[in-house]
């Protein structure tokens, strides 16, 4: 279990470990599904963004009976221990020690034996209980024992006191410089167009100032407006000059100023990957980093594979004990081999990285993935908790400035590929849903994803029902593998076009 400290299993979004990351000043989960859809150019589906101290994540919102609904189990799962039992038309959900009882077609539920109005009829589909989004603000506190704030219009849900506040003010000695202070680190994408600069927060629980319109009494930067929609928040700054954004190393301060007025001390990180618009907003150093070769050793490899499939754990590292007799390391190999079959059937050359019970370090796995110049890296994990599939992409530390210049640093090698990794995760998620497999997409500071230079995702498979033996069923393995393979095939051209 030596390498498990860096593996997905110990960094599960459940429980304490992610809280540890947060207090360590590293970002919590991100709303990548929304972001990835933007990257892939598809029309964004409606999503509910959930912000909590345990994880930030997003869930699809579905329309049922002219109301917006969301899966309750999927919503609660990252926050604690959940299990559900179907006894049609009844559905019983346990969250930690709280029991919720729902009945199909009824707009009242019982939580710990007490009546609760759920603002619409309860719906059950494929054993999944769906509740109206509108009831979450009142329903969730009954389960969680603490406050939950719903922004229903914009699809944002805040669990506990999680909001990030901000102030904005023009510098007293330079009216062309606007300084934002945030109460927690943020990492928005930055976009410019004539007369405007836009900061978009898809991952952070940023909330509106007292008034959504701020005026600064500056001729060059007259005002800014705050707006939120479909799970994200946006600040649009009006300006008569082209502005560039620079981020403080702690991620809590953003300074907007004309390019020639950048203070050297703030350590300008430049706009995020979504930056567009005037050349002044895109420092050339970022563009150079995105094009440059990696710092990783480039061993000569005889063959280029399109996909690298990694069976996590192995050898002495058994992974999670899924049952007294079932080790995760054996399940991951079975899924990896199944995915290779499915990909090769679709004409995609595939290498299974650990095709035996070998000990392979995380660095070695990343090294192989990088030196084979694969277009996509997929790591398999297996879990006994939860249902269906959790898809992870990497979450890098804030202020990762090591990647400027010609070399990428090993800890943040993934940085330039994150949009592509998120597009891959969104594509795989869409295909798995077509197979009726429950999916959530999440980010976590996972190795070796962080060290892989190409598109990289981790697929953590749990049984679709509570029967753990399903993980060893060839049918289930093939169902998941074919969904993942279809997702990769769907964005094959995009993956193959990456430098």
Contacts with Zn ion by CB under 5 A lie at 7-9, 312, 319, 381
Complex with Zn ion: residue 382 or 430, whichever CB lies closer = 382
CB of 254 to Zn ion, least distance (A): 36
Least distance (Å) from Zn ion to the CB of residue 58? 23
Q: Which residue has the tokens 């150019």?
A: 41
Pick from 68, 34, 416: which is nearest to 234 by CA? 34
Closer by beta carbon to Zn ion, 11 or else 58 = 11
| Residues 287, 271 contacting (CB under 8 angstroms) | no
Between CA 345 and CA 371 the distance in angstroms is 24
Residue 379 Cβ, how far from Zn ion at the closest point, in Å? 9
CA 323 to chain centre: 29
Between 7 and 314, name the residue whose CB sits nearer to Zn ion.
Answer: 7
Residue (234 or 330) nearer to Zn ion, CB: 330
Task: Answer yes or no: are the C-beta atoms of 197 and 191 closer than 8 Å.
Answer: yes
What is the distance between the alpha carbons of residues 430 and 397, in angstroms, rounded to a whole number?
A: 28
By beta-carbon proximity to Zn ion, the closer residue of 7 and 483 is 7
DSSP annotation of 41: T
Q: How far is the CB of 8 from Zn ion (least distance, A)?
A: 5
Of the pair 203, 447, the CB lying nearest Zn ion is at: 447
Nearest residue to the partner Zn ion, using Cβ: 381
CB of 453 to Zn ion, least distance (A): 22
Shortest distance, CB of residue 295 to Zn ion, whole angstroms?
27
The span from the first CA to the last CA of the chain, in angstroms, equals 35
Name the 3-class secondary structure at 69: strand
What's the min distance (Å) between Cβ of 333 and Zn ion?
Answer: 12
Q: Locate 413 and state its tokens.
A: 């090698």
Based on CB atoms, which residue is closest to Zn ion, 118 or 394?
394
For residue 95, what are the β-bridge partners? 82, 98
| Least Cβ distance, residue 475 to Zn ion (angstroms) | 22
| Angle formed at CA 149 by CA 188 and CA 101, multiple of 5 degrees | 125
Q: Which residues of 131-155 are buried (b: 16+ CB within 10 A; e: fewer)?
A: bbbbbbbebbebbbeeebbbbeeeb
Q: Which residue lies nearer to Zn ion by CB, 37 or 456?
A: 456
Report the 10 Å Cβ neighbour count for 205: 25
Residues 470 and 167: their CA atoms lie apart, in Å, by 51
């Amino acid at each position: 279990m030596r390498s498990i400290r860096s593996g997905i299993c110990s960094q599960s979004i459940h429980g304490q470990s992610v809280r540890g990351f947060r207090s360590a000043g590293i970002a919590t989960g991100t709303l990548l599904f929304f972001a990835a859809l933007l990257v892939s150019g598809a029309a964004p589906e409606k999503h509910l963004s959930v912000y909590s101290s345990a994880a930030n994540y997003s869930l699809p919102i579905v329309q049922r009976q002219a109301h917006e609904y969301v899966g309750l189990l999927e919503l609660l799962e990252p926050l604690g221990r959940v299990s559900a039992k179907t006894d049609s038309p009844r559905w019983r959900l346990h969250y930690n020690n709280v029991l919720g009882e729902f009945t199909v077609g009824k707009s009242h539920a019982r939580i710990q034996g007490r009546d609760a109005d759920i603002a619409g009829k309860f719906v059950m589909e494929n054993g999944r209980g769906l509740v109206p989004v509108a009831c979450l603000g009142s329903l969730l506190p009954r389960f969680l024992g603490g406050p939950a704030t719903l922004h229903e219009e914009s699809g944002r849900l805040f669990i506990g006191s999680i909001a990030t506040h901000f102030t904005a003010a023009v510098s007293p000695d330079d009216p062309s410089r606007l300084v934002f202070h945030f109460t927690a680190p943020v990492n928005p994408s930055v976009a410019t167009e004539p007369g405007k600069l836009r900061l978009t927060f898809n991952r952070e629980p940023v909330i509106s100032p007292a008034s959504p319109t701020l005026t600064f009494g500056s001729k060059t930067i007259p005002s800014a407006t705050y707006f939120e929609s479909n799970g994200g928040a946006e600040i649009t700054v009006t300006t008569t000059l082209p502005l560039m954004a620079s981020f403080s190393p702690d991620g809590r301060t953003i300074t907007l100023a004309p390019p020639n007025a950048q203070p050297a001390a703030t350590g300008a990180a430049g706009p995020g990957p979504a930056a567009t618009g005037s050349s002044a907003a895109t420092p050339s150093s970022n563009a150079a980093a995105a094009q440059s070769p990696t710092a990783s050793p480039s061993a000569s490899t005889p063959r280029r594979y399109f996909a690298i499939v990694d069976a996590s754990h192995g050898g002495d590292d058994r992974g999670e004990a899924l049952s007294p007799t079932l080790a995760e390391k054996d399940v991951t190999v079975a899924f990896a081999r199944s995915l290779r079959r499915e990909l090769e059937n679709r004409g995609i050359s595939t290498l299974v990285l650990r095709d035996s019970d070998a000990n392979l370090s995380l660095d070695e796995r990343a090294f192989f993935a990088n030196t084979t110049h694969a277009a996509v890296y997929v790591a398999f994990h297996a879990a006994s908790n939860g249902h269906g599939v959790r898809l992870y992409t990497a979450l890098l530390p804030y202020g990762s400035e090591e990647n400027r210049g010609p070399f990428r640093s090993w800890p943040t090698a993934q940085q330039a590929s994150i949009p592509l990794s998120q597009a891959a995760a969104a594509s795989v998620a869409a295909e798995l849903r077509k197979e009726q497999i429950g999916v959530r997409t999440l980010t976590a500071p996972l190795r070796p994803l962080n060290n892989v230079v190409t598109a990289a995702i981790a697929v953590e498979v749990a049984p679709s029902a509570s029967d753990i033996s399903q993980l060893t069923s060839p049918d289930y393995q093939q169902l998941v593998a074919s969904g993942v393979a279809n997702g990769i095939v769907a964005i094959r051209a995009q993956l193959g076009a990456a430098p």
